[in-house]
């Protein structure tokens, strides 16, 4: 049965399963065997491909953030004008793939872990920096002086909405959260004018 060229497929399956299992457990207290089985293989294979639990989970967090980054980039492509840029970033942040409960829950778990694990911390720094600079690029022409503060507050609002979505039992389409955020943005920009 063993075919060749399985590595990327199996790695992807493991990462996907890891995200799902971590989200479900709400912590990294998830056994390798469990993740491996969810990905349709035996435990030693997971070790074979990732070398250890740590590396697998790190890959999982990296995948979440890089998916998010890709979505933002795609949403930003071709768009011009500050306000349109802001809308694009917000739209990507609340779009279905990134706002799925299982993704958010896993994201949160990694977020918490970042306090102690340097690798996670670095990844999170990148996320924060990118979000901030994306928001800032749109805000600076519109909000002038207060742009930095506004960007930090918008970032906190997005994170706060994520946090709350992770806990909601309703299937949480992100749509309301997104609308609320846009309304606030209008408010902030209106006042800065």
Partner DNA sequence: GTGTTTGTTGATTGACGAGTCAATAAACAT
Partner DNA sequence: ATGTTTATTGACTCGTCAATCAACAAACAC
Binding site for a second copy (CB under 8 A): 24-29, 105, 108-109, 111-117, 121, 124, 149, 152-153, 155-161, 163-164, 166-167, 180, 183-184, 187-188, 190-191
Nearer to DNA, 55 or 137 (CB): 55
Contact (CB, 8 A) for 88 and 76: yes
- CB within 8 Å of 19: residues ≥ 6 apart: 60, 63, 64, 102, 103, 106
**CA 94 – CA 178 distance, rounded (Å):** 6
Which of 165, 167, 187 lies closest to 176, judged by CA?
Answer: 165
Which of 59, 135, 133 lies closest to 90, judged by CA?
Answer: 135
**CA 117 – CA 58 distance, rounded (Å):** 10
Choose the contact partner of 53 out of a second copy, DNA, none; CB within 5 to 8 A by kind. Answer: DNA
Radius of gyration for the chain, computed over Cα atoms and rounded to the nearest angstrom: 19
Which of 62, 18, 161, 113 lies closest to 10, judged by CA?
Answer: 18
50-58, 73-81, 92-100, 156-164 -> range binding DNA (CB under 7 A): 50-58
Shortest approach of DNA to residue 193 CB, angstroms?
54
Q: Does 27 bind DNA (CB under 7 A)?
A: no
Choose the contact partner of 5 out of a second copy, DNA, none; CB within 5 to 8 A by kind. Answer: DNA
Give the residue, chosen from 27, 44, 121, 176, that forms a contact with DNA under the rule CB under 7 A.
44
45-53, 98-106, 127-135, 154-162 -> range binding DNA (CB under 7 A): 45-53
Nearer to a second copy, 3 or 193 (CB): 193
Choose the contact partner of 1 out of a second copy, DNA, none; CB within 5 to 8 A by kind. Answer: DNA
Q: Does 85 bind DNA (CB under 7 A)?
A: no
Q: Give Dmax (Cα) for the chain.
A: 66
SS3 category, 40: coil
Q: Which residues bind DNA (CB under 7 A)?
A: 1-7, 10, 30-33, 41-45, 47-48, 51-54
């Amino acid at each position: 049965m063993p075919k060749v060229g399985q590595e990327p497929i199996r790695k992807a399956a493991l990462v996907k399963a890891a995200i799902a299992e971590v989200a479900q457990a709400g912590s990294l207290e998830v056994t390798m065997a469990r993740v491996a089985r969810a990905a349709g293989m035996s435990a030693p294979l997971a070790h074979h491909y990732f070398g250890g639990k740590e590396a697998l989970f790190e890959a999982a967090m990296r995948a979440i953030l890089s998916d998010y980054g890709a979505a933002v980039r795609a949403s930003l492509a071709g768009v011009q004008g500050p306000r349109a840029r802001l809308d694009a970033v917000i739209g990507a942040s609340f779009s279905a793939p990134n706002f799925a409960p299982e993704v958010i829950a896993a994201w949160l778990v990694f977020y918490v872990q970042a306090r102690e694990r340097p690798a996670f911390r670095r990844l999170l720094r990148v996320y924060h920096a990118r979000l901030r600079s994306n928001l800032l690029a749109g805000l600076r022409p519109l909000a002038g002086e207060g742009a930095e503060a506004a960007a930090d507050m918008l970032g906190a609002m997005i994170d706060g909405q994520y946090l709350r979505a992770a806990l909601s039992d309703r299937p949480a389409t992100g749509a309301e959260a997104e609308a609320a955020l846009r309304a606030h943005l209008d408010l902030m920009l209106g006042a800065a004018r």
